Amino acid sequence: MKGTMLLALVLALAAPAWAQRADQPLPGPALGSPPDASLPPSVPDSPAKPELIVDLSSPRVSITSAFQGESLLLFGMFDPPGEIVVVVQGPAARETVLRKERFLGLWLNTGRMRFDDVPAYYFIAASAPLQRLLARTGGGEILSLEDRLSTIRPVRLRTPAQMAEFRQGLVEVKRREDLYPANFGQVTIQAGRLFRADLPFPSRLPEGVYDVRTYLLRDGKIVTAVSRPLPVGKVGFSAELAGWATAEGPVYGLGAIVMALVLGWLGGAVVRRL
Amino acid sequence: MEIYLPIAEQSMNVFVLFGLGGAAGLLAGMFGVGGGFLATPLLIFVGIPPAVAVASQANQVIANSISSLQVQWRRGNVDLRMGLVLLLGGMIGSSAGVSVFTWLKAIGQIDFVIAVMYVILLSSIGLLMAFESVRTLWKRRRNPTAPRGKLHTHYLVHRLPWKMRFYKSKLYISAFLPIGLGFAIGILSAILGVGGGFVLVPAMIYILGMPTTVVIGTSNFQILFVAANVTFLQAVTNGTVDVVLALLLILGGVVGAPIGSRVAARLPGVVLRALMAVLVLGVATELLFELLRTPASPYSLGPREVLQ
């Protein structure tokens, strides 16, 4: 009710300006634009009473020596009515997209473009068809993959056509590795107030702190959102080895050499006895 | 059973990797070469990133050559002086090779260069061996007791300056020859992850003119240190040595090698060489086919750079 009144107020204030310049779009949060300070925040800072409670089946994704990808269960409860949208985003980094072309009959990388701020992983799940939800909300801070990727910038400026091609290539590769799952996930709502969703993580998963954000939408607006950091990292033996390899390359290299020498020596000696 | 490879950052079937190591060991036992030149392309076929395959294979070569060197050293089949001169070139070559590797990786061409070099190398060796075995079979049929030729012939390369005496090899040749040879093998070793024995051994026999008795031991001596240098530099500069992968390959090799030498003892040399030629040409053809075939998607990703 309060929200509707505020919106009406904003519209009333904006109406004269709108009348003067008819080509200007309606004020309001555009898809992917930074939040407008004059508007109330889409996500209340501290709801008086939690309307949305979210938890994950595991506080982290552990990449062990037996890791083959994992599916986490996200579950929670909300004050009905409403719809739930979950956006999982991997840490942003610079990615290099390479493109092969035929050269003298052989396929080799001839083109490359680097993009900044590319999420390692991007997954959206929703309790209703997302297109419909987004059309009604106008998006706000919930971005479809296309909208999220429209904000990434190439390190060196290129023509829009080239950028679009390479951005498409980036999505292709990420899709292939299941890092940008092609299908939207399903959030199932039970008993009107309980919800659950499966978050699929593939085996070749970049490390870092992922952001799992759950939104409660009501009448096309974000009522509240809960953000949970999800650390993804190697643990145990593989973590130790990888950490060692990056932090102490010389020690790791010597260790690898010693391992090979000992095994080769022993192996040779044992086999000759047989 | 799957195992996660911490540097390749993917999980892979343990038995596939163990089997690959075993196959390479089998070859090593059968033909007296390292087997790395077949293991690396096979690792790439099963989906290991080429940069990791090459660096981890170099790690495996260490185990292979120490185990062979053990025997050769005891039999006194190592020309230490020749080995050290070769090694001088080998160290420079492999260090330069790792720098080239790092540069190629940075510009996104390392996979292509590895594939092309393997195609060239494997097809020329395969064709040479096929030709050799056909000729031997042909000769044997026509003239079973051909007289043996000179110990070695003298080419232009034998007139280079800075001559050294290599007593064990009964040679008096310019030190530039083994240094140059070691340099070339060092580059191969760094970029392809092979020991290079399959090139080094014929080169030592036909170019340097070394007696065959000391060739295997001396080449293993040089390969051991060059492979260790490559492993170390790859670990430090590129961080692409996966010890879990190398461990599985080594264990497979330990099992495969004695089986290979037992098989080899029962087959005549010509048949062995013909078999090897077919195998080498098969891998070369497959690699070439991969380069010529239109890829499912022309796009791939380079390494992710997390900006601090």
pLDDT digits (tens, 9 = 90+) for A31-60: 444 444 444 445 555 555 678 899 999 999
Contact B121, B192 (CB under 8 A): yes
| Closest-approach residue (CA) in chain A for B299 | A99
Kind of pairing between the strands at A185-186 and A122-126: parallel
Mean pLDDT of A130-134: 72
Is residue A197 scored above 90 in pLDDT? yes
Terminal-residue alpha carbon distance, chain B = 37
Predicted local distance difference test score (pLDDT) of residue A263: 92
Alpha-carbon distance values, B17 to A256, B39, B93, B235 (Å): 18, 10, 29, 21
Q: Across the interface, do A265 and B258 touch by the CB < 8 Å criterion?
A: no
C-alpha angle A150-A155-A156 in degrees, rounded to nearest 5 = 105
| Closest-approach residue (CA) in chain B for A257 | B228
Q: Give the integer Cα–Cα distance in Å for A22 and A8.
A: 19
- Chain A partners within 8 Å of B116 (Cβ): 106
Residues 6+ apart with CB under 8 A from A217: A82, A83, A84, A85, A133, A137, A223
Q: Among A65, A102, A265, whose Cβ lies nearest the Cβ of B66?
A: A265
Q: Across the interface, do A268 and B66 touch by the CB < 8 Å criterion?
A: yes
Mean pLDDT of A65-78: 90
Query: Which residue is listed with tokens 């075993």?
Result: B22
Q: Across the interface, do A259 and B247 touch by the CB < 8 Å criterion?
A: yes
User: Measuring CA to CA, which residue among B99, B96, B120, B115 is closest to residue B49?
Assistant: B115
Is residue B203 scored above 80 in pLDDT? yes
Q: Across the interface, do A259 and B258 touch by the CB < 8 Å criterion?
A: no
Give B222→chain A minimum CA distance, Å. Answer: 15
Q: Give the integer Cα–Cα distance in Å for B234 and B240.
A: 6
The size of the A-B interface in CB pairs under 8 A is: 195
Q: What is the pTM of this model?
A: 0.76
Q: Across the interface, do B301 and A96 touch by the CB < 8 Å criterion?
A: yes
Q: Among A170, A172, A260, whose Cβ lies nearest the Cβ of B250?
A: A260
Kind of pairing between the strands at B299-301 and A194-201: unpaired
Instruction: Give the tokens for residue B290.
Output: 């991969």
Q: Across the interface, do A109 and B108 touch by the CB < 8 Å criterion?
A: yes
Pick from B54, B67, B119 the residue to mutate for testing the A interface (most A CBs within 10 Å). B67
Pick from A107, A241, A265, A272 the residue to mutate for testing the B interface (most B CBs within 10 Å). A107
Contact B186, B96 (CB under 8 A): yes
C-alpha angle B49-B51-B54 in degrees, rounded to nearest 5 = 105
Neighbours of B135 (CB within 10 A): 11
Pick from B251, B299, B304 the residue to mutate for testing the A interface (most A CBs within 10 Å). B299
Contact A137, A222 (CB under 8 A): yes
Contact A29, A138 (CB under 8 A): yes
Terminal-residue alpha carbon distance, chain A = 85
Q: Across the interface, do A106 and B292 touch by the CB < 8 Å criterion?
A: yes
Q: Helical H runs in chain A? A: 2-20, 130-137, 145-149, 160-176, 236-247, 249-273
Is residue B109 scored above 70 in pLDDT? yes
Query: What Rg, from alpha-carbon coordinates, does chain A have?
Result: 25
Mean pLDDT of B263-274: 79
Residues 6+ apart with CB under 8 A from B21: B39, B60, B248, B249, B250, B251, B252, B253, B256
Q: Among A256, A263, A264, whose Cβ lies nearest the Cβ of B231?
A: A256
Q: Give the integer Cα–Cα distance in Å for B82 and B134.
A: 33
What letters, b where the CB count within 10 A reaches 16 and e where it falls short, cover A89-110? Answer: bbbbbbbbbbbbeeeeebbbbe
- Chain B partners within 8 Å of A255 (Cβ): 243
Is residue B25 scored above 80 in pLDDT? yes
What's CA B87's distance to the chain center, in Å? Answer: 15
Q: Strand B299-301's sheet: what is its strand order? A: A153-154, A106-119, A92-103, B299-301
Judged by average pLDDT, the poorest of A193-202, B102-111, B145-154, B173-182 is B145-154
| Closest-approach residue (CA) in chain B for A246 | B239
Is residue A86 scored above 80 in pLDDT? yes
Pick from A96, A115, A178 the residue to mutate for testing the B interface (most B CBs within 10 Å). A96
Task: Share the mean pLDDT of chain B.
Answer: 84
Task: Share the mean pLDDT of chain A.
Answer: 79
User: Measuring CA to CA, which residue among A110, A95, A103 is closest to residue A152?
Assistant: A95
In which band, very low, low, confident or very high, does the pLDDT at B35 lie, cut at 50, 70 and 90?
Answer: confident
Segment of A15-24, A234-243, B84-93, B291-300 carrying the highest mean pLDDT? B84-93
Mean pLDDT of A60-79: 89
Mean pLDDT of B240-246: 93
What's CA B156's distance to the chain center, in Å? Answer: 27
Give B253→chain A minimum CA distance, Å. Answer: 9
Predicted local distance difference test score (pLDDT) of residue A7: 45
Segment of A70-74, A232-236, B9-13 carrying the highest mean pLDDT? A70-74
Is residue A18 scored above 50 in pLDDT? no
ipTM of the complex as predicted: 0.85
| Closest-approach residue (CA) in chain A for B61 | A260
The full length of chain B comes to 308
In which band, very low, low, confident or very high, does the pLDDT at B157 lie, cut at 50, 70 and 90?
Answer: low
Q: Across the interface, do B67 and A254 touch by the CB < 8 Å criterion?
A: no
Q: Give the integer Cα–Cα distance in Å for A173 and B258.
A: 43
What's CA A34's distance to the chain center, in Å? Answer: 18
Predicted local distance difference test score (pLDDT) of residue B92: 95
Mean pLDDT of B230-253: 92
Tabulate helix, strand, coil % of chain B (nearest 5).
70, 5, 20
| Closest-approach residue (CA) in chain A for B243 | A256
Residues 6+ apart with CB under 8 A from A73: A56, A57, A196, A197, A198, A199
| Closest-approach residue (CA) in chain A for B227 | A257
Q: Give the integer Cα–Cα distance in Å for B42 and B114.
A: 13
Is residue A29 scored above 80 in pLDDT? no
- Chain A partners within 8 Å of B258 (Cβ): 271, 274
